[in-house]
Amino acid sequence: MLKLSKTVRQIVVALALFTFGLMITITIKKSNEPQVLSNARENELVQVLTELNRQNEQLSIEINDQEDVLDSLQSGSTQNANQAALDRANALGVLAGTKTVLGPGITMVLKGDSASINAFTLIDAVQELRDAGSVAIQINNVRVVANTWFIDTVGGVSISGAVKNTPINIKVIGEPQTLETAMRIPGGFEQSVIANGGEIEIKRSNIVEIDATLTPEPPKIAQPTN
């Protein structure tokens, strides 16, 4: 049986921890949502059920993929293990925002005053896009990752310390139709922006380039072990 190298083990553990944390985040978000389904129309309930089924299928595929990777690492050659480690490192680089990304997706432009476009608006957009399976998100020239934060300021919305005012340009990579549907679902994000006096423009695209990247900070407390 192939003995996994230290680098491979670290990448597998990091990926497992990220997936676990993402599942907890989604669970917390779902548990805090208002109880509005009892007042939803039949077509809205059908859309919600369809989206839940899609997410369930996506998670099943991800589980199968991870099991295949584990089998490959345990029974394959050193070359296969190194390639798998490189692939996972690239995937983690996308999630951490340290790599540029190119692929299909959508672009959105938000316009309005602080009543319609604020920190809560952007948080809501990011949560909906992540639930819809987005791979990478960029707001203006700021890459959005797991620890990105939003707060309202006098000059606009501060995104992890970078203050942005409208128009807000959002680039998202993922399945274009699914992303657009998530934004336009009845009673959802688009209608909320319009109801508060804002404007929103959503376009699908075969090629969306996310070029904003982050520089990883060295650990200040934890130290790697040999």
Statement to judge: residues 66 and 50 lie in one domain: yes
167 part of a folded domain: yes
Asked if residue 11 belongs to a domain, the reply is: yes
Secondary structure class of 71 (helix, strand, coil): helix
Which range has the top average pLDDT, 53-62, 63-72, 173-182?
173-182
Q: What is the pLDDT of residues 132-169, one digit of tens each?
A: 989 999 999 999 988 889 999 988 999 999 999 899 99
Q: Which tokens sit at 61?
A: 């595929």
State the residue range of the domain holding 195. 101-210
Residue 224 lies in a domain: no
73 & 111 share domain: no
For residues 109 and 197, state if they share a domain.
yes
Q: Are 204 and 112 contained in the same domain?
A: yes
55 plus 88 within the same structural domain: yes
Same structural domain for residues 166 and 187? yes
pLDDT band at 66 (very low <50, low <70, confident <90, very high): confident
Which range among 82-91, 127-136, 216-225 shows the weakest confidence by mean pLDDT?
A: 82-91
**Do 73 and 84 form a contact (C-beta atoms < 8 A)?**
yes
- The structure's pTM equals 0.61
Q: Please tell me whether residues 121 and 178 are part of one structural domain.
A: yes
Three-state DSSP class for residue 16 = helix
The more confidently predicted of residues 176 and 219 is 176
| pLDDT for residue 222 | 76
Residue 70 has pLDDT above 50, yes or no: yes
Give the total number of structural domains in the chain.
2
- Check: CB of residue 152 under 8 Å from CB of residue 114: yes
Task: List the CATH number of the domain containing 109.
Answer: 3.30.70.1880
Token reading at 143: 């890459």
Domain ends where: 65, 96, 127? 96
**Does residue 124 share a domain with residue 84?**
no
Among residues 62, 96, 130, the one where a domain terminates is 96
Q: How deeply is 225 buried, as exposed, middle or buried, from its count of CB atoms within 10 A (0-12, 13-18, 19+)?
A: exposed
> What's the pLDDT score for residue 86?
64
Whether 115 maps to a domain, the answer reads: yes
Predicted pLDDT of residue 24:
46
Query: Does one domain contain both 155 and 201?
Result: yes
Residues 118 and 55 in one domain: no
Q: Is residue 226 part of a domain?
A: no
Within-domain flag for 223: no
Kindly report the backbone phi and psi dihedral angles of residue 134, in degrees, each rounded to the nearest multiple of 5, phi listed first: -65, 145
Task: Assess whether 111 and 167 both reside in one domain.
Answer: yes
